[in-house]
Every structure is written in C-alpha cells, then in structure tokens.
Amino acid sequence: MLTSRYIAGEAAAVIRPGGIAVVGPEIGDDAASVLWHKTERTMASEAIEVILKHFGHDFVPFASAALGADGLHVAARGGARAEVQDGAGVVHIVGDGAGQLVKRVFPDALRVTVLLPEHTPRLGEGWQVESGLVGASQVTSFVEPTAAVEATEIDDLLDDLDATVIASPASLSRSDDIADVELISELVAAANPHFERESADLATSSNGNEATSSPYKLVLGSGIVVELDRPVIVGRAPIDPRSEYAPQPHLVAFDSPGRGISRTHAMIEQGINCAVVTDLNSTNGVEVLIPGRGKQRLAAGVPLSVPAGTVVDIGEGATFLVQEV
C-alpha cells in the first residue's frame, strides 16, 4: 500500500492506498468529483485519461502512480512528472515535459512523487492522508510491503470507448453527462473482474470500515452531490483527522483565492433526522441559513443540528445545501 503526504495547492489530487494522481487546476469541480468516485476500483492511467477526455480535458497535465502485481505503474503528461526512487536509491524521472503520455513500471519502487510543472519535490513536508480528494500541487507516497495487487487490464475498455460512447461534453445535459460517466465506470469494472460493483445500499470505505447509509446529502453550488454516509470535512485543502473520526470522512476541497476558507474548515455529519455541522476552529467561521429561522453563525467547535433545506456558507461564495436523499 501507499503512505502519502500532499502539499496544498490549487490542483486536484486523488489519494488512495493503491494509487495517487495529481491533475492540473484547469479541471472543474464536476470532473474532479467524478475522477475521485470513478477511480475507487482502479487508479490506472488509462482510466484517468478516459475520464479527463470525457470532460474535454485531453491535454490537461497529470501524473499518476498505481500499485500493480508487477510493481508501481507510473504515468505523466503535459509537463507534469513523477519522480521515483528505486530499491538501489536511484531517482528516475517520468515525463518528458511535452504533451504525450509517458508510462513506466518500477518493480522495486520505494518512493514516488507526482507533481505539476514548475514544482520541485518537498519531501517530508505536507499533510498526511490515507485517502481523499484534496487541493494539492504534489503528492509523495512511500511504498509499503503488501500482498500483490492484481494489475488492471483495460485494453477492452479502450477498444470500446469510441465516439458512440463518449459524446462532446458541450452536447450533454447534466443527466446525460452522469449517465455517460456511469457507463465509463461499468466499462472500467468490466475490464477487471476483481473490481466488483458495490451495492448502492452498502458502500465500503477504503480503510475497510463499512459506511452506514444516510438519508441526508450535501449539494454543492456546482451541482456535485456528497452523501452523508460518513462525515464530510470541507475546506481549502482538508486533511483527514483519522485519529478522531471513524469511519474515514469524505474530504471536499473548495477554491479559496483570498484564503478566507481554512484548510480544514468544517465538518458535516449525519444526525437523527438532521445533519450536524461543526466549525473546526476556522479562521472566518461558518454561517447557516436555517429555513424559518434566518442566518446563524456557529460557535467554533460546537456542533449544531440543522434540518433539510439549510444552506451552509463557509465564505468566499462557497455554499452547499443540506437535503434529504
């Protein structure tokens, strides 16, 4: 498995025990969210390419690393790169600084850093996270001994993804867009029988804990939906305080050009017929607009139960709506 740290930045980084990826800041919230959810079963670079292409991001820089049965699979394009230290201590650079995708497999990798153009590795720095979608400029992971991971075979996926499967994003409605992404997910899963489709009623978190189903969800301003099947931590570059919360929370990052949103700003949990919002000692606070009660500012560290229809505001225009599923 991979033990990872990230340096906060404006790009999107997907971090999982079996793989990591950092993608240029050109992608929007929709693409980042889909990238997070649809790489749960495979972090193969081909799957990342398919998802980015679907959203029209054919040339957005990205670098990725994924554990496979034969070693660490590393890929980079668009000026992004990966730096891999092998068992002999030699550091290898993957990525030619141009647009084309470069791939390599390292059977004895000890460490990998994936980073965007014009960044240098900052080893030993940053926030440690086991799994999450975060705002980052680079991610460094150390490879820990573990049982062999089956390599993802997606040749059939690439053969099947033609113009009849993926239409131009501009020609799709939101419902069509999500439907096509679901099709991508099915094709990725079909390419590797080891990635079984999970039940809609029972999801399993990446640390092995079962996440309980929830009748509440968060709807972001971009239209992205995050279910409260486990706690949700929001912020500019949120981290996962695993020592405090179980099951492992969702991490949702918001753009904050003015730095008014704290790195780890607030937490939202499922309550009994409500959602529970907590200001995690943020710099600029959290406000909630509760139906029939008006706007209210939270006291730092004090949980507040809110009903469906509540709007949560963490600053700089970053708001989301609490709804029933």
Domains of the chain: 2-143 (3.60.40.10), 203-324 (2.60.200.20)
Please name which of 277, 262, 285 lies closest in space to residue 321, comparing C-alpha atoms: 277
DSSP letter string over 26-40?
Answer: TS-HHHHHHHHHHTS
Task: Give how far Cα 189 sits from Cα of 25, 32, 195, 204, Å.
Answer: 27, 19, 6, 16
Is 179 in contact with 42 (CB distance < 8 Å)?
Answer: no
- Peptide linkage before 145 cis (omega within 30 of 0): no
- The rounded distance, in Å, linking the Cα atoms of 248 and 244 is 9
Please name which of 229, 312, 262 lies closest in space to residue 8, comparing C-alpha atoms: 262
Rounded (10°) angle between helices 174-191 and 29-38: 30
Written as tens digits, the pLDDT of the chain (325 aa) is 898 988 888 888 999 889 999 999 888 777 888 888 888 778 889 889 888 888 888 889 999 999 988 999 999 999 999 999 998 889 999 987 677 899 999 999 999 999 988 888 887 777 888 788 888 889 999 998 754 444 344 444 444 433 322 322 232 333 333 333 444 444 444 443 443 333 233 233 334 444 444 589 999 877 788 889 889 999 888 876 554 445 678 888 888 888 889 988 999 999 888 999 999 989 899 999 999 888 999 998 889 999 999 999 999 888 999 999 8
